[in-house]
Chain A
Amino acid sequence: MAWYDEDSWLTQALSPKPSTILITFAIAILLPILLHSFLYRKAATATGLPTFLLVGPSGGGKTAFTTLTERGTVPTTHTSTAPLQIEALLPDPHVPASSHYRSPGDPAFERSRRFIIHDTPGHGKLRNYATSTLADPKNVRGIVFVVDAAAIDEEAGLNEAAEYLHDVLLSLQKRYTNAKTSKGPKEIPVLIAANKMDLFTALPASAVKTKLEKAISAVRNNRAKALRDAGAKLTGEDDVDEEKEWLGEGGEGSFEFDQMREIGTTVDVIGGNVSQGKNAGDVAGWWSWMGEHL
């Protein structure tokens, strides 16, 4: 039986038989539906919800805050090696700014309280998780920079936090200045969550702010004086007019968080503590900040 015989499958497939038409029809309709469901089932669940990105040096309390928001209690946590995304409801007294007018029974109100917290590892070697999200912040409504207010009192802790914060703010600024439209991208506010306020050595929020501002100025100065990157030279391009970008007002004078308003980023510093153990600390300030930007 050759392929050109009358009863070969090829001839049958091309002949105007009702069964053939039916099968073709079924395939034509079902295939796209199946493909769609196969491809988009997973993607559809994750997209759409507003996201808060948690960054900050290791040991600040990011994962603890994530779990506190999710379940209301804080289990013990260790150094993270992988990012974590969880879906949470804004805890009770706090109301999302977008639905102040809604009544609590409204299903839209419930929906608006849902959001995603994206916890990233803070260890120096693993910050690429955070930076890759920052480079393309889809759905990111705000960035929470969790910092240990007690560790910031010491030189090493302060420098680490300041450098990380500098990089975060710089990538936000780059995103703004590189935007193609004249309106600029959607603004992303930053909350500096000064954690561990319950510790005796913790600095108050205002002191955290001034210390960080000062340290970021120093970081910026040192970056300006530092050697250039090896990138251009090694890839064989000319590195003569490799222009760097400086954080806040062209990198002149001392840095203040208010300078970030120019690029559509507000920076707030709020103290709190995600205390581990019996008494679940005091993070109402952070939650209300999240509510304001939800």
Chain B
Amino acid sequence: MLDTFEIVTTSGVVLWSRTYVPVGANVINSLIREVFIEERTLPQSEDSGSKPSYKKEGYTVKWTQAKDLGLIFVAVYQSLVHLTWIDKLLDNVRALFVGLYGEQLKTELSSVVNCDKFGPYFDRQMQELEGQSDSSAPGIKITTPDSSIDNDSADEGAPAAALQKPPQRALFDTSADSTPVQTPDTSRPTTPASHILAGKARPAGAKLSRRDRKKASGSPAPASSGDEASAKRKGKSTKKNRTWGELGAEEDDGDMVLDYSQSDIRDGAPEPEQLEEIHQDTWGRKTNKGEFVLKDLDEEMDAIIQAQNAKKEKAATAAAGGIVGSSLGAIGGYFRNVVGGKTLTKEDLAKSLKAMEEHLLRKNVAREAAVRLCESVERDLVGMKTPSFTTIESTLRTSMEKALTRILTPTNSLDLLREISAVNQSRPRPYVLSIVGVNGVGKSTNLSKIAFFLLQNHHRVLIAAADTFRSGAVEQLRVHVRNLQELSRREGGEVDIFEKGYGKDAANIAADAVAYAEKNGFNVVLIDTAGRRHNDQRLMSSLEKFGKLANPDKILMVGEALVGTDSVAQARNFNASFGAGRKLDGFIISKTDTVGDMVGTLVSMVHATGIPVVFLGTGQHYSDLRNLNVGVITRLLMS
């Protein structure tokens, strides 16, 4: 069952909502944050047939957008439930809402949309779609009793039935007020009620009865499972009858209706027509009773939806007109392109996007990241109108700049000094920072650059040589430490090295270093690790132990600006190597001074993981470590 349906503007105002079961606002908030802003979870494109979905806290969220109006239509329901008609509902509601209130939405300098009257429209849609899913799914009806039998026989050990159990449970849950425990009880009073209603041939009653039958056909299952096992192996119809006889007070009535339902189930194919007739009939009745509103609404609703769909189709077929039409269209399109005010379609953008992708690839952005950026820009632009006097290219450019800024800007601030002081104040343990990366990217160099930066701020730094693999690694760090000691003598601050030679376990050395630092009053520990190839499972697996034992406050990964497409895989593998619950905290991109404006690696790595770039290495000296400047990087990439 649908829990909540909301219509939200991109500026965050809920225009209209219908709540069946209250859902915390944080579900939709995190959908907006993670999908729309941070793009952490990529939705599949709408062409794949179904609407994109997002899962959070046991809820499934499905949404669709009306880009030009800045609307998001969100449907939230429990993940346990499979609602097949949600896509259709979203589409219909979008068409309805845009058709009814599109003009109001376009007024500038106002967020008010007077849509109190949308409720009935929505309710009709819901009823209709739910009804359709009920009546148009005789197949499901057949499977339900089948599976209930399966469930019965599952008591004697049929593992396949276990797979079918969850959806069925869900059905029970959704049929509202009945908890599983009560099902046998509730089925008794509801069934007679449904007889009466069915006798009156009212649609709601009929629907109800069908649902109840479903419920009933399921609910005897737990009851009958206590019965003799022999009955279960018989045909379902006979078994049905028997259970009903045992349960229901009015056996005859129950049998009759049951028979009816059975036939309903058996010849599912001709049944829909019959059902349609009943529907028609009941429309008449409703109107006779004086509920004209519903019928009016229905017609109006269909008209609006059709109009919207026709508009869409027209837009789609407009391109494929006659010769005169197409040439006129071409001229118009050209004019529009110059003047602006053109509604962008996929075809319009394709060429420019291709060029943009090529441009990004030339800037050393990995193909995967470039494609994704272009897709995100396309999602952003399709359905938009270009502003006056702007071409598609310039619109695309600004949109790409926006996308780049968004992807590179960190969500939280990355103030290393503040974090260190916060950690040192809150506990006696030193702040532990460790550095990982593939071979030869400059782990030790960047480590000593960070050490230099911290020494300038008068921290007491311990460098742990946990690279016990490559010969000369410890000596290299020792030289760095000697230099840094020399430099820090004037500035203040203190630095030392913690080493245990070669061949030992890196994780243990790191843990020892932290203990040593705590005892000797160092407040920062920097751990250097051995370089490892990111696709070597054996080497990467030791990182998990390392993460657990040393428990660093921050794990930074060093990546070269020189590396191309491989950067995506590097970032991804390292990010995944620390086991569940631990991720990288940031990247250091080294050697950026050697690539000029081809700084695409930054984008590739951030794209792959959503983890921000913290520092850039820009030269050979200890002082050549820089913070990221998003504006400059974006400009370099777009130049």
Contact = CB atoms under 8 A, between A and B. Distances in A.
| Same assembly | yes
A2 interface: no
23 contacts: A45-B109, A67-B111, A70-B111, A75-B15, A76-B17, A76-B25, A77-B14, A79-B32, A82-B10, A84-B13, A86-B109, A86-B111, A87-B110, A116-B109, A125-B37, A125-B410, A126-B37, A128-B405, A128-B409, A227-B627, A231-B629, A233-B626, A234-B616
A234 B631 CA distance: 12
Given A226-B415, A235-B636, A85 B109 contact: yes
B10 A234 contact: no
Given A225-B417, A228-B627, A233-B618, A79 B111 contact: no
A225 B455 CA distance: 11
Interface in A59-104: 63, 66-67, 70-71, 75-87
A77 B12 contact: yes
Given A84-B11, A155-B422, 5 more contacts: A42-B388, A78-B28, A81-B37, A84-B13, A219-B415
B272 to A, nearest CB: 40
A87 B108 CA distance: 9
Interface in A166-223: 218-219, 222
B293 interface: no
Contacts of A71: 112
B36 A81 contact: yes
A79 B29 contact: yes
Majority-rule SS of B interface residues: mixed
A261 interface: no
Interface string B57-84: 0000000000000100000000000000
A230 B402 CA distance: 20
B111 A66 contact: yes
Contacts of B410: 124-125
Contact of B417 (A42, A46, A222, A231): A222
B326 to A, nearest CB: 27
B590 to A, nearest CB: 12
A110 interface: no
A84 B624 CA distance: 42
B29 A233 contact: no
Contact of A78 (B32, B109, B418, B629): B32
A190 to B, nearest CB: 20
A153 interface: no
Contact of B599 (A125, A218, A226, A234): A234
B522 interface: no
Given A76-B25, A84-B111, A233 B619 contact: yes
Given A79-B33, A233-B619, A227 B14 contact: no
A196 to B, nearest CB: 14
Contacts of A119: 11
A229 interface: yes
B283 interface: no
Contacts of B415: 159, 219, 222, 226
Contacts, number: 149
A125 B406 contact: yes
A106 to B, nearest CB: 23
A138 interface: no
A125 B12 contact: no
Which residue, of A75, A123, A125, A227, has the highest number of chain B Cβ atoms within 10 A? A227
Interface of A: 39, 42, 45-46, 63, 66-67, 70-71, 75-87, 116, 119, 121, 123-128, 155, 159-160, 163, 218-219, 222, 225-231, 233-235
Nearest to A127: B409
Nearest to A62: B12
Contacts of A234: 592-593, 597, 599, 616, 618, 629, 632-633, 636
Nearest to B27: A78
B38 A125 contact: yes
A124 B409 contact: yes
A231 B627 CA distance: 9
Interface string B395-436: 000000010011001111101111000100000000000000
Contacts of A123: 33, 37, 411
Nearest to A124: B411
- 9 cross-chain pairs, A with B, having the tightest CB-CB distances, nearest first: A84-B11, A80-B12, A230-B626, A82-B10, A87-B109, A231-B632, A231-B629, A63-B12, A79-B32
A46 B109 contact: yes
A235 B629 CA distance: 11
B170 interface: no
A182 to B, nearest CB: 30
B413 A75 contact: no
B568 to A, nearest CB: 20
B111 A78 contact: no
A234 B627 CA distance: 11
Contacts of A78: 8, 12, 14, 25, 28-29, 32
Contacts of B112: 70-71
B453 interface: yes
B118 to A, nearest CB: 14
B571 interface: no
A148 to B, nearest CB: 14
Which residue, of B12, B415, B418, B615, has the highest number of chain A Cβ atoms within 10 A? B12
Nearest to B39: A125
B400 to A, nearest CB: 14
B419 to A, nearest CB: 10
Contacts of A226: 415-417, 627
Contacts of B631: 231
Contacts of B8: 78
A222 B627 CA distance: 13
A235 B422 contact: no
B73 to A, nearest CB: 13
Given A86-B109, A125-B38, A227-B625, A80 B10 contact: yes
B11 A80 contact: yes
Contact of A230 (B9, B32, B70, B627): B627
A127 B631 CA distance: 13
Nearest to B70: A82
Contacts of B32: 78-79, 81
B635 to A, nearest CB: 8
Nearest to A119: B11
Given A46-B109, A125-B37, A229 B25 contact: no
B393 to A, nearest CB: 21
A256 B108 CA distance: 39
